[in-house]
Amino acid sequence: MATKVRPLNDKVLIERAKAEDKTKGGIILPDSSKEKPKEGKIVAVGQGRIAENGERIGFQVKAGDRVLFKSYAGTDVKIDGKDYILMSEEEVLAVIE
């Protein structure tokens, strides 16, 4: 049974894209030298940030969007054996269309 996760407030849950196994020249990379991709797919979003006046501010991203994010953004979490990143929406840089 899969666990359902609902991020709080302005947080998003992202499944990171897989790292490349080979360089463009065909050299196979060991796990220790693979760079973590700065791209992923949004799995879940919270309800939005709360403004100073108490109103909720909606998200610019939604579940299913492919996004780019900062290199050291968020917190790595493991849910049901899969690796995810939990971060604020402000750490998301762009949506890939």
Per DSSP bridges, beta strands 75-79 and 82-88 are: antiparallel
Q: What is the helix (H) or strand (E) element at residue 56, kind and residue range?
A: strand 56-57
- Tens of pLDDT, residues 81-97: 888 999 999 999 999 98
- Tens of pLDDT, residues 29-87: 666 655 676 899 999 999 988 889 989 998 999 999 999 998 888 999 998 888 899 99
Q: What is the pLDDT of residue 2?
A: 52
- pTM comes to 0.78
Looking at 1.10.1240.10, 2.30.33.40, 3.40.50.970, 3.40.50.2300, the CATH number of the domain 11-17+36-96 comes to: 2.30.33.40
pLDDT above 90 (res 19): no
